């Protein structure tokens, strides 16, 4: 499996398994655990969760039941808006407890909250110093938020996880992050999941350009989009629930897109978000509770 080396030397698998809203939003039961175990059986080793997803326990059960060596796994979680600032350390410890792990591989600030960023980041740096987490990063951070963190961070962020798909390529932000040696991770790489209410007919997986490339390469539209990310040195964390989709998302090694094909997908950009906008997300986010 292809990996990227983060700016602190930690290796991260480029292909991860997204866990937001497996089944339903904040579902945490045997169905979620079984879905994650399917991913592990196919070969996924990088799993992305968050306290607000409400399914850290289900992921923890899957890790236990799979019996894989801990060092083979790469586990990411995130601190939610309502946990930032002085709550950050306790929030991290709660995530670890729910996951039943001794450490995380990557811990992210889920959304930028500039008034709390310094206090949150300094708490995360302390966790890093204590070797409770192997790498620190950001999610949904704008250029201005990254500039703010650069003024005080003792430990540099290793990555920024952002909404990124063929209809929303965020080229300027991607270039900025990569110039500053921060890896870029794409959430909702295929266009938002069923929980978002976005009809499939509006998603890039049915775009004629993507469909034509899928037919040309004998692949699925999803595989084309994931490979487009991988070949541009981005981390990608698709979510899937059926065994077929989980398997297809994983089978990306035996075909390559040409430079022209990558540019054709790049040119589909519409600056169209499916998810929340970091300029306005906090008002809604602060109403969302992290389950116990």
Among all residues, which ones are annotated catalytic?
Answer: 53
Note whether 80 and 19 are within 8 A (CB).
Answer: no
Measured CA to CA, the distance from residue 198 to residue 22 in angstroms comes to 16
Measured CA to CA, the distance from residue 175 to residue 181 in angstroms comes to 10
Token pair of 162 as six digits: 């952002």
Write the CA distances from 26 to 22, 35, 92, integer angstroms: 8, 14, 18
CA-based Rg of the chain, rounded to a whole angstrom?
18
Note whether 14 and 235 are within 8 A (CB).
Answer: yes
The DSSP code for 94 is H
């Amino acid at each position: 499996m292809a990996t990227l080396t983060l700016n602190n030397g930690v290796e991260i698998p480029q292909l991860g398994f997204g866990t937001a809203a497996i089944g339903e939003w904040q579902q945490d039961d045997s169905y979620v655990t079984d879905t994650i175990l399917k991913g592990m059986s196919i070969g996924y080793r990088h799993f992305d969760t968050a306290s607000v997803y409400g399914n850290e326990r289900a992921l923890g059960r899957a890790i236990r039941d799979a019996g894989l060596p801990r060092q083979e796994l790469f586990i990411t979680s995130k601190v939610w808006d309502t946990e930032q600032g002085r709550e950050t350390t306790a929030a991290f410890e709660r995530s670890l407890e729910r996951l039943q792990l001794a450490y995380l591989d990557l811990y992210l600030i889920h959304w930028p909250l500039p008034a709390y960023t310094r206090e949150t980041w300094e708490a995360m740096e302390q966790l890093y110093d204590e070797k409770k987490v192997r790498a620190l990063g950001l999610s949904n951070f704008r250029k201005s938020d990254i500039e703010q963190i650069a003024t005080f961070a003792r430990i540099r962020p290793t990555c920024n996880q952002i909404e990124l798909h063929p209809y929303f390529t965020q080229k300027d932000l991607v270039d900025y992050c990569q110039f500053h040696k921060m890896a870029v991770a794409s959430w909702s790489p295929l266009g938002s999941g069923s929980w978002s209410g976005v009809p499939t007919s509006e998603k890039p997986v049915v775009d004629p350009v993507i469909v034509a490339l899928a037919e040309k390469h004998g692949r699925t539209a999803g595989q084309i989009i994931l490979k487009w990310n991988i070949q541009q040195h981005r981390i990608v964390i698709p979510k899937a629930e059926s065994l077929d989709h989980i398997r297809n998302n994983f089978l990306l090694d035996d075909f390559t897109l040409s430079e022209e094909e990558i540019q054709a997908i790049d040119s589909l950009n519409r600056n169209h978000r499916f998810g929340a906008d970091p300029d306005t997300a906090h008002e809604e986010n602060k109403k969302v509770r992290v389950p116990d």
